A and B are shown apart, each in its own frame.
Chain A
């Protein structure tokens, strides 16, 4: 037996299991638990924050307690049993400060304890569900609100700032590491299936409730991100609904615990931190795992459609047309979506939002699908990087898992002069670095978006332009803020990479003007009330502007004030220059896929798929249309 099952539960939650290996220590267990509770604890807490207690008073309502069995476990257990029989012990759990030394009945597991040793000691006959360890977070360790929270209220959704963004942003500067994290998490994710052992609503906290009732629900809040008009209210309703049912559910348990849990899980979703990135760096085992199998098919079809420059779109049935958008349902159940006339707007939206979540993650999934050791290669990228620079002339061993295409050149140059060798090794690093990220888009999903590059420096312009061209992403260039506005007004752009410090008109000013025009033209959720009095020079052709453009600020400095200014002006996100191309690629995938979904009609119109139009005149797509100008959409073909 190489692995053992550990029973755990959250206070008031149902027991569930994770698997541990012989060498795992409690710290590893915590990491596993973060994966397990990916949508609740995982969102707000880091593994080290968890506290795992071996509660010997943990029989929830006194039901089926295997006391008889326990007695066999020697003195410790017998003493602990006394605690188990104490009727108050259970209700104390949530107020219990983990690590509190004066509570001898509960044993807080120390991070360095070997899990197997614990099992052998305390559960020599095997761990039973009722022995479940309690997983807790310290009460005082509520998620610390982002410092931007106070302004969230005045920001429009497209301006939505949140600490997740920031986190991701930070990770963006160490892409190898973040990558390593997400790929590493995959195998574990497969093991710790979050749904596997759930027993019912009573066990779930806020977000889990939402997700168990509707697997996509938990992710719907991502809409806010992309400034979905429709979703806003919908998400909200959903939240309240589930929280209401949650309370009654927990009421049955007679616990005062929910007020403790609720803020941790709900607050981030509803507003404070809400638009969490769907980006790859955040390990989200749930969606990944659910769709791993279907993935290769999907990639294949996506590629074929995109590569064929719009031609294929014509011949495709609607669900094929949809496939470049990472749409899990469209391939696993190809017909459900496009042909069903019973799809309600709500369902559609949920599915879309789920696809939003899926899309960037898919990139991560690919590592597994490739069947190579890329996942391993990836995780070790960082270390290898260091090793390579340190150990002179010893690069061959690290070469084993380099991407194939680079091998020859590297081999060739390794034997050169010292400098040559050095540089080739560096190159190798860079190429591993890159191939780990860019391999994805070269043969993976390219969001069918058009990107406006706003850069005053011709060198940076060229780099970004070439980057886009190589990935078959259409792009335009503007060299200052004024030009940016002009180009944007032509319509058709989904994503703007906006340098902030620009001549003539700064990126900040340009962004503000774009947002002002969007509001005047009632594009997006937050619009000017008196938009009817719009001046003629402000009018935008409606069919070309269906949703607010996503503006990613390129800030030269890492100063927080700059980022804040950019976000306050209406940028959705930011990247620090020099732009890490791996990270840029992720941003484009992530934002691009989202925009493609939001502006699906627009996307299809430039793909020129008239066939799809006939098909989708049926109720299914009219339901999915998020535009408030359905007629204009159809005419725009």
Chain B
């Protein structure tokens, strides 16, 4: 716990959103529902990253775009803002648009290159989020 500065938590997770998930827990001691959601997300994220790696190797931009979109949905639902933003970028770049999705790029080389960079950073962001969430649930459980 001590190694996470409370202030940075705000960047990692949007509590308004995550709070809504927590709110759905019947029992605030075991937090069964939100815990299962979060652990499911861990699984999903790991899977997705693996698939993204594969798609990157295959230079399959469409697949990258749809994977980006997929993970964007769940990370957004949990309030993992950073991960969500990166996934969105991957989605757009995969569709050969710029990061914000407004301009057509039609430059597969560039898009793949960008995605590669973002994929690295999103893993990092995910790791932060995961570590934070695990700690959160650890401390919840010990209460």
Contacts and interface: CB of A to CB of B under 8 A. Distances in A.
Interface stretch (B52-60, B73-81, B121-129): B73-81
A89 interface: no
A438 interface: yes
Q: Bin chain B's interface residue count.
A: 35 or more
Interface string B128-142: 000000011001000
Main secondary structure of the interface of A (DSSP, over half): helix
Given A460-B73, A559-B101, A429 B10 contact: no
A306 B12 CA distance: 40
Contact of B16 (A418, A433, A579): A433
B117 interface: no
B105 interface: no
Interface stretch (A118-126, A221-229, A242-250, A419-427): A419-427
Contacts of A413: 143
Given A467-B24, A557-B101, A429 B15 contact: yes
A457 B101 CA distance: 21
A429 B2 CA distance: 23
A460 B80 CA distance: 13
A342 interface: no
Contacts, number: 106
A81 to B, nearest CB: 58
Contacts of A430: 15-16, 18-20, 22-23
Nearest to A460: B77
A379 B21 CA distance: 23
Nearest to A425: B15
A470 interface: yes
Interface in B66-96: 66, 69-70, 72-74, 76-79, 84
B69 A556 contact: yes
A155 interface: no
A574 B4 CA distance: 37
13 contacts: A416-B139, A422-B9, A426-B16, A429-B19, A456-B70, A459-B40, A459-B77, A460-B74, A462-B36, A462-B37, A466-B33, A556-B76, A580-B17
Interface of B: 1-2, 4, 6, 9-10, 15-24, 28, 33, 36-37, 40-41, 44, 66, 69-70, 72-74, 76-79, 84, 101, 135-136, 139, 143
Given A417-B2, A503-B66, A577-B76, 14 more contacts: A417-B1, A419-B1, A423-B136, A430-B16, A433-B20, A457-B70, A459-B77, A460-B74, A462-B36, A556-B69, A578-B77, A580-B17, A581-B20, A581-B23
